Amino acid sequence: MTPPRETVDVVVVGGGAMGSATAGHLAGRGRDVLLLERFAPGHKNGASHGASRNFNQAYSDPTYVSMLVESQRLWRRLEAESGLALLETTGIVNHGAHPAFDAVHDALAAAGVDSEFLPADEAERRWTGMRFDSRVLFTPGAGRLHADRSVAALQAGAVARGADVRHEARVTDVRVVDDGEVHVEFEASGVSTTVRARTVVVTAGAWTESLLAGVARHPRLVVTQEQPAHFAVVADSAAWPGFNHAPTAGDPRYDYWYSPVYGMVTPGEGVKAGWHGVGPRTHPDRRSFLPEAEQLAALQRYAREWLPGVDADRFVPISCTYTTTPDSNFVLDRVGPVVVGAGFSGHGFKFTPAVGRILADLVDGIPAPPLFALSR
């Protein structure tokens, strides 16, 4: 592989979903872009791997709703460009004690996104593999994204537009010279190289804080090892939408719950279900990749009680990292020549194309929505 140029317009650090989308947007605008990814393609060390992510539309905040509409359009455009199936429309059911369902329904209607309320008994007739404890907010246009395939398509699109994408290139230092120059040092094949750039975009997931320490004001981020599982399906003929299920506070039926539960079918692997952002805190380089026994047992109990279409005793655990902010909103902001994209875990993947556009805008001096400011 030829060595990178000594000077580029933009270095993007982190080649997961968000960094890959950002590189594609920037290259499409004629920027000279170098994307540096620490690991090999398809690795399982971060948060962008696997075959399934919910494309959940249940948002009421107008910023997120606008990004949903934009992202769905851009996912379809990426499918057309790549020839790959990325977003499958399965519908998603949201149920339980969620206080914002009416606001979600109204916000989606205002944006032209379909949603409807269904009684619990009707929902159980439609989706026999699930149980419901409340009315259900059904979004028929929601669905499931193929994560691995999406990242590959985003990177291929970035390369086609002229980006230089480098795997197994570990960034070791980011050094700000002034508002118009930053030096990025990385190691690849045992060789250390320093590249000068006008701007650096850091989309490094669980490694964000360590890369930005002493470089720029960075978000307060919590990194956890999350442990969902794929449960074997026992009723193959049953329809399976994606789902989000919120517990009722104070109701003893939910005393064993760690958080709301999310899930979806992963074709060929089973029904994926997991707690949301409550795994043990970890360092991304010191993960065990092993499930925490009590949380896994509670997840099995959830499957046994609420998912009659699966076998709660036949499962394969999964390991991934969550990197979250205290308010669960993303960080999309700029400090001098450093653009930061962080805190996406738990609900960010669906927004990838819009996030890439916003980060590219920040490189071009266009501010991001205030909701995502570092200073909030």
CATH of the domain at 10: 3.50.50.60
Rounded Cα distance, 355 and 341, in Å? 8
The answer to whether residue 64 sits within a structural domain is no
353 and 242 co-located in one domain: no
The answer to whether residue 61 sits within a structural domain is no
Domain that holds residue 376: 1-51+146-220+326-376
Distance between the two ends of the chain, CA-based, in angstroms?
Answer: 43
Position 11 scores a pLDDT of: 98
Position 3 scores a pLDDT of: 75
Final residue belonging to a domain, choices 303, 324, 345: 324
Residues with Cβ within 8 Å of residue 5, at least 6 apart in sequence: 32, 34, 164, 195
Final residue belonging to a domain, choices 324, 339, 361: 324
* Burial group, residue 296, by CB count within 10 angstroms (0-12, 13-18, 19+): middle
CATH number at residue 247: 3.30.9.10
* Per-residue confidence in pLDDT tens, the chain, 376 aa: 677 778 999 999 999 999 999 999 999 999 999 999 999 998 888 888 888 999 999 999 999 999 999 999 999 999 999 999 999 999 999 999 987 999 999 999 999 999 999 999 999 999 999 999 999 999 999 999 999 999 999 999 999 999 999 999 999 999 999 999 999 999 999 999 999 999 999 999 999 999 998 888 777 899 999 999 999 999 766 789 999 999 999 999 999 999 999 999 999 999 999 999 999 999 999 998 888 999 999 999 999 999 999 999 999 999 988 999 999 999 999 999 999 999 998 899 999 999 999 999 999 999 999 999 998 6
Position 239 scores a pLDDT of: 86
The answer to whether residue 155 sits within a structural domain is yes
226 and 369 co-located in one domain: no
Rounded Cα distance, 278 and 226, in Å? 7
The answer to whether residue 110 sits within a structural domain is yes
Rounded Cα distance, 261 and 243, in Å? 8
Rounded Cα distance, 351 and 274, in Å? 20
101 and 134 co-located in one domain: yes
Helix (H) or strand (E) segment spanning residue 101 = helix 101-110
The closest alpha carbon to 56, from 261, 228, 232, belongs to: 261
Final residue belonging to a domain, choices 282, 309, 324: 324
Rounded Cα distance, 139 and 58, in Å? 8
Instruction: Report yes or no: 8 and 32 within 8 Å, Cβ to Cβ.
Output: yes
Q: What is the pTM of this model?
A: 0.96
314 and 245 co-located in one domain: yes
184 and 288 co-located in one domain: no
The answer to whether residue 234 sits within a structural domain is yes
Q: What is the DSSP letter of 121?
A: H
Q: Which amino acid, residue 135?
A: R
130 and 236 co-located in one domain: yes
Residue 41: other Cβ atoms inside 10 A: 13
Instruction: Report yes or no: 52 and 265 within 8 Å, Cβ to Cβ.
Output: yes
The closest alpha carbon to 21, from 147, 171, 136, belongs to: 147
Q: Which amino acid, residue 153?
A: A
248 and 376 co-located in one domain: no
The closest alpha carbon to 263, from 237, 286, 230, belongs to: 230
242 and 308 co-located in one domain: yes
Residues with Cβ within 8 Å of residue 250, at least 6 apart in sequence: none
229 and 372 co-located in one domain: no
Both tokens of 291, joined, read: 């499930």
The answer to whether residue 245 sits within a structural domain is yes
Beta-strand relationship, 53-55 and 143-145: antiparallel
Which own/partner contact pairs does 284-291 have at CB distance under 8 Å and 24+ positions apart? 284/45, 284/46, 284/205, 284/206, 284/207, 284/223, 284/321, 287/225, 287/319, 287/321, 288/225, 289/225, 289/319, 290/319, 291/227, 291/229, 291/317, 291/319
E strand residue ranges, 2-157: 7-13, 33-36, 53-55, 87-89, 92-96, 116-118, 136-139, 143-145
85 and 199 co-located in one domain: no
Position 2 scores a pLDDT of: 79
Rounded Cα distance, 188 and 64, in Å? 37
Q: What is the largest distance, in Å, between two alpha-carbon atoms of the chain? A: 64
The answer to whether residue 235 sits within a structural domain is yes
255 and 238 co-located in one domain: yes
Position 62 scores a pLDDT of: 97
Position 159 scores a pLDDT of: 98
256 and 295 co-located in one domain: yes
Position 139 scores a pLDDT of: 98
The answer to whether residue 66 sits within a structural domain is no
Domain count, the chain: 2
Both tokens of 237, joined, read: 């003929």
Indicate if the alpha-carbon torsion angle 21, 22, 25, 28 is positive or negative. negative
